[in-house]
Amino acid sequence: MLAEKHADRINKIFAKYPDKRSGVMDLLYLAQEEYGWLTEDALREVADLVDIDPTQAHSIAGFYTMFSEKPKGKYWLQVCTDLPCALRGADTFYRELCAYLGVEDGGTTDDGLFTVEQVMCLAACDRAPMMQCNFHFHEHLTIEAAKELIEKLRVQAQPETQEDGGA
Amino acid sequence: MIHILLRDLEIPDIWQFDTYTANGGYDGLKKAVHDLSPAETIQIVMDSNLRGRGGAGFSTGRKWSFIPKDAETTYVVVNADESEPGTFKDRQLLEKNPHQVIEGAMLAAYAIQAAAVYVYCRGEFWDLAHALEDRIEEARQANLVGDDILGTGWDCDVHVHLGAGAYICGEESALLNSLQGLLGQPRVRPPFPAQMGGGLYYQPTVVNNVETLANVPWIIVNGADAYKKIGTPESPGTKIFCVSGHVAKPGNYEIPLGLTFRELIYDHAGGILNGKRLKAILPSGASGPVLKATDEVLDAPLTYESVAALGSTLGSASFILMDEDTDMVWAAAKMIHFFKDESCGKCTPCREGTYWLDKIYARLLRGEGTAHDLEMLEKVPNQIAGVTLCALGDFAVNPVLATLEHFRDEYEQYIHQPEFGPEPAQAL
Ligand SMILES: Cc1cc2nc3c(=O)[nH]c(=O)nc-3n(C[C@H](O)[C@H](O)[C@H](O)COP(=O)(O)O)c2cc1C
Ligand code: SF4
Ligand code: FES
């Protein structure tokens, strides 16, 4: 449970606001970090913490692109294909990235490691093509650089995957 | 070249508290709390004629003066949602010169005697927002933020709130809802944020853009007259222009308002990528009408009034440049797709209108467009503009109307030559 496991963080969140309801987005981030995605139970937990109805937590979660109510790959690659980036080759980049990973637009690789999505402007248009991998920006990308990153992440993910499997 | 804002270009370490203070940082706040009354602080900003850098260009001093003097609890909210396509200036300010933004926000807070400041950062600025919390802590340790600021008995803390990916949350009333933990949709106005019932927790609130606030310390230290010496009388000061797209040197350029389009694009940003010819300019991201790159436009000064006179808006000054090879129907389709995605769905004309426009563009790009589609493109905007709850509805019709006005022949080509069209890679 979030309340027990992250009591300190939750108190810090509530301390920022005169109304605890303002903490709902921070708590959704926390729940997503804890459970990987916003399951129904996770939404109920967050809703209880800020005294709102679970359906309200659900509509807030659904309103924003950074919350996910479905499982995603371990690495969530959000490629900006908005106009400024597209003028610098982002559409081609995205297509090649999908092809390299063997997925369709919005898809997840079979090993569950990568989910790819197109997103709107991420305020990095001067460094296009670019993408966000979980919470980090990768900028000035070429498809070669992206492939390298993906291979690095694959290696990085390996020991953890084995541990998970053994646990 | 004067950098009032992008001071990291001269002083790379300006993000550090000690470097910032060694270079005059927080002198403005000290001056205000020790020597100026809140009313005098507002007056200086009003006299400077500083205009909001978030898009609307409204007088900052006047906005502050709207806060009722007898209000018990007031707030300052820093709009760091920066989501307009082509805009990336607030990010550089928050990353490279964060203390100046904090100081500007504290000056606004002093002017309206705010109970607290909230910085609403778009969720994708995750790393940046966490670093900003550390910078705020440094200011707190130095007694510039928090309780009994500089021994004056005034308490005001600064908090960072993370959004989670929604363009509409940059619209001030949607932002306030989002900050309150409500759905991030715009509010019916009036009451406006500065009024009782309209702001954060329904208390009078000043909402200002990051860049707007970053100007304030300089103005308080150097005075309104010094500020007005930069730029033009109606558009004083410097402005950060975010230049992207087909440009040789994409990036942020802080220049005095009043230079020409040509100076910005060719002298500062290095001209057009690969020596191509410039075809079209979006001076304020996807929200403002596109301009054809004529000599008249290129020689026009970059001021709020002059860009408005050309039929567009200076807005947040996100310059997206498009070269001679750019397919303008495709470009319009991209922008419409953006607005369809970002419509919050609260009003029917915006929700449905952007949905239909998006469908029509997709059809055009597939080579399946008809003369009827072109008629629809002319009609649908009339049903959206002016009847929606927030300005997104008005923004959404600009890509259609402006490209139809300047580049109608390209639409005709799509309809009469089905084989004409973008590379598959460019299709949405
Ligand atoms: C759809 C929409 C999106 C907006 N996005 C932003 C934004 O990302 N950042 C911003 O500062 N202002 C944005 N604005 C403008 C704000 O509503 C508001 O006018 C601004 O924050 C006021 O600050 P200023 O007076 O300092 O410019 C947006 C407005 C609309 C209608
Ligand atoms: S105009 Fe569009 S974005 Fe604005 S409130 Fe209406 S539906 Fe939402
Ligand atoms: S358009 Fe891609 S980051 Fe702005």
* Residue among B128, B70, B139, B50 nearest B102 (CA): B139
Cβ of residue B166 lying under 6 Å from some atom of ligand 2: no
Q: How many CB pairs under 8 A join A and B?
A: 139
Interface membership of A119 toward B (CB under 8 Å): yes
CB contact under 8 A, B164 and A29: yes
CB contact under 8 A, A126 and B251: yes
What is the reported pLDDT for B427? Answer: 45
What is the reported pLDDT for B68? Answer: 97
By CA distance, what is A93's nearest residue in B? B425
What is the reported pLDDT for B420? Answer: 60
Confidence of residue A120 (pLDDT cuts 50, 70, 90): very high
What residue ranges do the domains of chain A occupy? 2-63, 75-166
Spell out the domains of chain B, with CATH numbers in brackets. 7-228 (3.40.50.11540), 238-323 (3.10.20.600), 328-426 (1.20.1440.230)
Residues from chain B contacting residue A16 (CB–CB below 8 Å): 159, 161
* Low-confidence spans in chain B with pLDDT less than 50: 424-428
Which ipTM did the prediction report?
Answer: 0.94
Q: What is the 3-state secondary structure (H, E, C) of A11-34?
A: HHHHHCCCCHHHHHHHHHHHHHHH
What is the reported pLDDT for B424? Answer: 43
> Is residue A10 classed as helix, strand or coil in its secondary structure?
helix
pLDDT digits (tens, 9 = 90+) for B341-364: 999 999 999 999 999 999 999 999
What is the reported pLDDT for A166? Answer: 39
> Is residue B142 classed as helix, strand or coil in its secondary structure?
coil
Please name the residue whose Cα sits nearest to atom 10 of ligand 1: B54
Q: Which CATH architecture has domain A75-166?
A: 3-Layer(aba) Sandwich (3.40)
pLDDT digits (tens, 9 = 90+) for B252-264: 999 999 999 999 9
What is the reported pLDDT for B347? Answer: 95
What is the reported pLDDT for B428? Answer: 43
Q: According to CATH, what is the number of the domain A2-63?
A: 1.10.10.1590
What is the reported pLDDT for B52? Answer: 97
Q: What is the mean pLDDT of chain A?
A: 94
Cβ-nearest to B183 among A59, A88, A127? A59
* Residue among B135, B114, B128 nearest B81 (CA): B128
What is the reported pLDDT for B386? Answer: 87
A 10 A CB-CB count for B13 gives 12
Percent of chain A with pLDDT strictly greater than 90: 92
What is the reported pLDDT for B2? Answer: 77
What is the reported pLDDT for B357? Answer: 97
pLDDT digits (tens, 9 = 90+) for B103-147: 999 999 999 999 999 999 999 999 999 999 999 999 999 999 999
CB contact under 8 A, A83 and B179: no
Residues from chain B contacting residue A22 (CB–CB below 8 Å): 161, 179-181
| B186/chain A closest Cα distance in angstroms | 13
What is the reported pLDDT for B314? Answer: 95
By CA distance, what is B339's nearest residue in A? A120
How distant, in Å, are the alpha carbons of B257, B264, B297, B314 from that of B309?
15, 19, 10, 10
Mutational test site, ligand 1, from B82, B89, B172, max ligand atoms within 8 Å of CB: B172
Cβ of residue B231 lying under 6 Å from some atom of ligand 1: no
Q: Which two tokens stand for residue B75?
A: 């707030």
